[in-house]
Amino acid sequence: MINAYDAGTEANDELQASIPQPTPAANTRTGGVGGIVATTDTAEKVHIHPGSIGDENDTGGSSDIDNRVHRWLNPVARITVTIN
């Protein structure tokens, strides 16, 4: 099982303005286009990403990510090695 890592180049506040280059209508419930790299993340090195929690509030709340669709926590992948 493999964890996701974070380079600390944007804030992990789950707000649309902090999500760099989201796919239109895919990553946020508002479907907007980001591209702004926030500088409020305090990470100084690559670290294990805390995940994306989101919320269920379509008109506000603490996150712009819909947790019913885009919530994820670590691990994010499984590697299987098969020897023939």
Calpha distance 62→66 (Å, rounded): 11
* Per-residue pLDDT at 30: 47
Calpha distance 19→3 (Å, rounded): 20
* Per-residue pLDDT at 38: 47
3-class secondary structure, 34 = coil
Reading the block at residue 12, the tokens are 């992990």
For the chain, which residues score pLDDT lower than 70?
Answer: 20-43
For residue 67, what is the enclosing H or E element?
Answer: helix 67-70
* Per-residue pLDDT at 43: 62
